[in-house]
């Protein structure tokens, strides 16, 4: 498990983090979102043991990072943003070196390097120098480094940065498999569709503060209390307007015609959706489409950031 309580980091008068709480359970992927300077990398560096917090608590697998730092770091795999390795080292040499640094015995190292290489499809690249690898395979080497020793928690800083669509798809699958195997994964990203695709929950950070946390559905409901519906009929006209106008007064909603057969409806009460559908059916207005319009992660993110700026 990855956990922080009121985590705070100051650089002089600059407040990089202010009382951030987060929790990632085994098998969960928490997507960490925020604009540049929001405090994402600072949080990950504190959790990796690289930076001390100004105040607050942080723990990995129940181990406090201030009082049990070494034990906590042994439970953590960290992939920094823009991961690099010595260009002249072969992949196998680099991974053996890193495995030894992490405390694996001489007998354990070869088997552990083979394990992570097989898991990430790196076996054909083990004899290649790091400088000969593509961006996608360099990221895999960084993730292999993070997985050495089989830590229960993974911290990934912008893992999709610079990857092409195929590489992003492959990396996405790898992270889903790791979560399915019980890893607690916290990753930051600017690629909002990637977060929307794989994150179990989302935490949005802005100006060092947590603005929202929860599943995408939770955030959509919280930020958009009114239900917006797209209703498309096989036929419209005067009758449709009359039925909707009468229903709007009783069910407390507004509507706007998008074209001759489609209407945008904004309900003040989510529970009135079924009542509206029944009204349309009773009036014998054939409904082709009746769906709720929910904001995607990009819209939610913009809404929160703009709300802070006003």
What tokens were used for 241?
């307007």
In a domain? residue 300: no
Domain ends where: 221, 252, 275? 221
In a shared domain, residues 143 and 262: no
In a domain? residue 20: yes
In a shared domain, residues 132 and 248: no
In a shared domain, residues 279 and 135: no
271 contacts: CB under 8 Å, gap ≥ 6: none
In a shared domain, residues 264 and 173: no
In a domain? residue 299: no
Domain ends where: 221, 252, 273? 221
pLDDT of residue 106: 92
Radius of gyration of the chain (CA): 25
In a shared domain, residues 87 and 117: yes
Domain ends where: 221, 244, 271? 221
Query: What is the number of structural domains in the chain?
Result: 2
In a shared domain, residues 163 and 250: no
In a shared domain, residues 185 and 242: no
In a shared domain, residues 85 and 212: yes
- Write the CATH number for 178: 3.40.50.300
Q: Which domain holds residue 195?
A: 2-221
pLDDT of residue 269: 72
In a domain? residue 297: no
pLDDT of residue 13: 87
In a domain? residue 112: yes
In a shared domain, residues 102 and 207: yes
CA distance 310 to 303: 11
In a shared domain, residues 189 and 42: yes
Q: What pTM value is reported for the model?
A: 0.74
**Would you list the DSSP string of the chain?**
-EEEEEEEEEETTEEEEEEEEEEE-TT-EEEEE--TTSSHHHHHHHHTTSS--SEEEEEETTEETTTSHHHHHHTEEEE-TT----TTSBHHHHHHHHHHHTT--TTHHHHHHHHHHHHTT-GGGTTSBGGGS-HHHHHHHHHHHHHTT--SEEEEESTTTT--HHHHHHHHHHHHHHHHTT-EEEEE-S-HHHHHHH-SEEEEEETTEEEEEE-HHHHHHHH--SEEEEEEESS-SHHHHHHHHHHHHHHTEEEEESSSSEEEEEES-GGGHHHHHHHHHHTT--EEEEEE----HHHHHHHHHHHHH-
Q: Could you list the mean pLDDT of each consecutive 10-residue stretch along the chain, which spans 310 residues?
A: 94 90 95 83 91 94 92 92 91 96 93 93 94 91 94 92 82 91 91 81 87 77 63 78 85 79 76 83 84 66 60
In a shared domain, residues 179 and 278: no
| Residue reference for tokens 């088997």 | 111
- Write the CATH number for 278: 3.30.70.1150
In a domain? residue 304: no
In a shared domain, residues 123 and 264: no
């Amino acid at each position: 498990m990855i956990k922080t309580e009121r985590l705070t980091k100051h650089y002089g008068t600059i407040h990089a983090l202010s009382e951030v709480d987060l929790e990632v359970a085994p098998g969960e992927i928490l997507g960490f979102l925020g604009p540049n300077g929001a405090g994402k990398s600072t949080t990950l560096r504190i959790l990796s043991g690289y930076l001390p917090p100004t105040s607050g608590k942080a723990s990995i697998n129940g181990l406090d990072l201030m009082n049990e730092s070494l034990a906590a770091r042994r439970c953590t795999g960290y992939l920094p943003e823009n991961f690099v390795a010595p260009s002249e080292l072969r992949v196998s040499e680099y991974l053996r070196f890193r495995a030894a640094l992490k405390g694996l015995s001489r007998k354990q190292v070869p088997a552990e390097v083979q394990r992570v290489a097989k898991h990430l499809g790196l076996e054909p690249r083990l004899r290649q120098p790091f400088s000969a690898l593509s961006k996608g395979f360099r990221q895999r080497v960084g993730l292999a480094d993070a997985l050495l020793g089989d830590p229960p928690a993974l911290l990934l800083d912008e893992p999709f940065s610079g990857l092409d669509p195929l590489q992003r798809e492959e990396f996405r699958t790898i992270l889903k498999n790791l979560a399915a195997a019980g890893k607690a994964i916290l990753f930051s990203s600017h690629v909002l569709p990637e977060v929307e695709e794989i994150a179990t929950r989302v935490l949005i950070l802005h100006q060092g503060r947590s603005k929202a946390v929860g599943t995408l559905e939770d955030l959509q409901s919280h930020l958009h209390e009114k239900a917006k519906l797209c209703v498309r009929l096989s036929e419209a006209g005067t009758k449709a307007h009359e039925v909707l106008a009468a229903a709007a007064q009783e069910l407390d909603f507004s509507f706007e015609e998008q074209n001759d057969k489609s209407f945008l409806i904004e309900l003040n009460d989510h529970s009135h959706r079924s009542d509206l559908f029944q009204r349309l059916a009773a009036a014998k207005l054939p409904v082709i489409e009746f769906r709720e319009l929910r904001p995607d992660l990009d819209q939610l993110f913009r809404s929160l950031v703009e709300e802070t700026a006003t």
